[in-house]
Amino acid sequence: MNLIAAVSKDWGIGKGNDLLFHIPKDMKFFRETTLGKVIVLGRKTLESFPGKKPLKNRTNIVLTRDAHYAAEDVLLCHSPAELLELLKQYDTADVFICGGEQIYNLLLPYCDTAYITKVDAAADAEKFMVNLDGQPDWELAEESEPLEDNGYQFTFCTYKKRTD
């Protein structure tokens, strides 16, 4: 499985149920990387999307503890075990974990690749993900040249889980 996220200098990912940064090049990268794939997200992340609608041309799977939650055009799972069982029908290379904080933390152990847009900026974040630079079982495998868009400097980084 894969994880995809944009993070601030201190690995912040969100505030007030919104992204910390709006960077068109990052949005394009996310769109191109996940198009035609399976995305796994939490209820709050789904509700942060425009119109609270799932992303088009992707299989949207929402993990929520709320047994009464309903949403159109998504597959709903109510436990990690139910989610992992559902994901068996998909190629793990096509599955992308895309937030929020609880979903990242819960599913990181099942991922082998993480696509992280590192934004060279501090942010007043309320939500964070694990800093992969400080995790002994993860290594930075690839990093783009520094890029700039919408007033932000950032790099696209690919982390791989160590297999040794």
pLDDT at 63 over 80: yes
Compute the radius of gyration of the chain from its Cα atoms: 15
Total structural domains in the chain?
A: 1
- pLDDT tens figures, 113-163: 999 999 999 999 999 999 999 999 999 999 999 999 999 999 999 999 998
The domain that contains 95 carries what CATH number? 3.40.430.10
* pLDDT number for residue 103: 97
CB burial class (10 A; 0-12, 13-18, 19+) of residue 39?
buried
* Average pLDDT of the segment spanning 7-28: 96
* pLDDT number for residue 164: 77
Angle ∠(112,138,91) on CA atoms, nearest 5: 5
- pLDDT tens figures, 72-108: 999 999 999 999 999 999 999 999 999 999 999 999 9
| List of residues 6+ apart from 67 with CB closer than 8 A | 78
Query: Which residues span the domain enclosing 22?
Result: 2-161
